[in-house]
Structure 1
Amino acid sequence: MKTILTNKHISIETRKRTLQCYIEPVLMYGCEAWTISKQIQNKLKTTEMWFLRRMLRIPWTAKKTNERVLNEANKRRSLVRTIRKRQATFLGHVMRRGKLEHLVTTGMFERKRSRGRR
């Protein structure tokens, strides 16, 4: 006899893995080239908390703090940290190469100055 699993039977750990495997990569596509301002950083944190609240089935009318939701999910905020890590990795990759990207990021062009006034 087959058992049909409904959403009630799926554990929190499975939901977290699903979020990490399927949703976060789509959200972070191309994040290496983003310029993250304070406003965008706040929106990313809000999105992460929205994911967790949906995963735990906490309605938006419930007065639960973000810290309490994070404790219930047994998780720490990691989205912005992951994006920063990917940006640093990408920057290191660009700096190792001697191509146009390296020249643009460092601004160091090897050439002789022409004679006369600037």
Structure 2
Amino acid sequence: MHLRRERKAPLTLSMQEPIQTSKDGSHLTVLDVVPDDFLLDEDCECREESSRLRTLVQQLTGRERQVILLRYGLSGQPPLTQQQVAQLLGISRSYVSRIEKAAVQELRAQLEPTR
């Protein structure tokens, strides 16, 4: 009985679970295709942090800035998925992922000393 009940229960899916693998071995995860809005103004603890974040985003390289603005909706539009950003910029989704991860890591490193 327990096994039947388990089979009927909805599956739990990790955000890091690969949903597709490309020929070069890179994985597309659930997290990559869901718009991520953790950098939106309403999620920041205060206006000062939001202002500092916007200043730091402006200091990113051109491509990094574009990807972050599009992915997180920081220029007034809704956040886009990595696939949407890739199509808009004419690059691969995996390249968007690499750019985004590097830019977010840089932003976090810049924000950490102030906390």
Q: Same fold (TM over 0.5)?
A: no
TM-score bucket (shorter structure): under 0.3
Q: TM-score, normalised by structure 1?
A: 0.23
Q: Give me the TM-score of the superposition, normalised by structure 2.
A: 0.23
Q: Report the structure, 1 or 2, having the larger strand content.
A: 2
Higher-Rg member (1/2): 1
Greater relative CO, 1 or 2 (CA 8 Å, sep 6+) = 1
